[in-house]
Amino acid sequence: MSRAERLLALMQKLRLYHYPISGAVLAGELGISLRTLYRDIASLQSQGAQIEGEAGLGFVLKPGFTLPPLMFSVEEIEALALGAKWVAQRTDARLGAAASHALSKIAAVLPTELRLELDTAALLIGPSQQPNDSDEILGLIREAIRQECKLELHYLDAQGKESTRVIWPCALAFFDHARVVIAWCETRQAFRHFRVDRIKSLLSQELRYPKHRQALLKAWRLAEGIMEQRP
């Protein structure tokens, strides 16, 4: 375990406790000596971590502190790099650019050894046949989801029948061959899935729908029999 990873592990341990925890317990959980633990705590304190306490009494981390250079492990860096590459290649231009910019901001605050891991990450995204969806429509859908606004769309179903729908969009799913809007449909009075490539035109009504997005997603999961994902 590198020193950066050890300091990160110590921060994570301290976040688990909301009361003073003894140095001996911390050292035992981390598999290090008391002398190393005290040196690491002093190092974190010198970098701004608000760790209170002292040897013999225990230590506690005051809430609300995040130390940017130690936010990620090597595997977390790999996951971030892979995720950003996926977004850049599988979504619309604006979201892809946002992923690249976010990764650049993360790289700017990483210590040298972790920045090298980010720059040289060897996990790649394979080629895929991407749907030819309008970036403008995708942008409008994402904005409506964020703002919890109704959308009016002219839609062409699988049989080629065109209809006008007013929907409450609550999620946008990205598949290899299609992007799908998950929404409550006022016409059907039920949840429906709309392929973005079948949307002929789209208009934001700039009216908030009567439920929160999280409540809609929960109801959709229940209707589909999908277990709710936990972070």
Distance CA 52, CA 61 (A): 6
Contact (CB, 8 A) for 24 and 34: yes
Q: Say which residues have a Cβ less than 8 Å from residue 213's Cβ, sequence separation at least 6.
A: 145, 148, 170
Distance CA 216, CA 220 (A): 6
Question: pLDDT tens, 8-44?
Answer: 888 888 888 878 899 999 999 999 999 999 999 998 8
* Predicted structure pTM score: 0.68
Question: pLDDT tens, 100-130?
Answer: 888 887 887 677 777 888 888 888 888 877 7
Q: What is the pLDDT of residue 221?
A: 94
Q: Which residue has the higher pLDDT, 165 or 46?
A: 165
73 three-class SS: coil
Burial code (b: 16+ CB inside 10 Å, e: under 16) for 58-89 equals bbbbeeeeeeeebbbbeeebbebbeebbbbbe
Amino acid at the residue 24: A
- State the first-to-last Cα distance of the chain, in angstroms, to the nearest integer: 25
Using alpha carbons, select from 34, 115, 30 the residue that is nearest to residue 80.
115
What is each CA distance from 44 to 12, 14, 35, 113, in whole angstroms? Answer: 12, 12, 14, 18
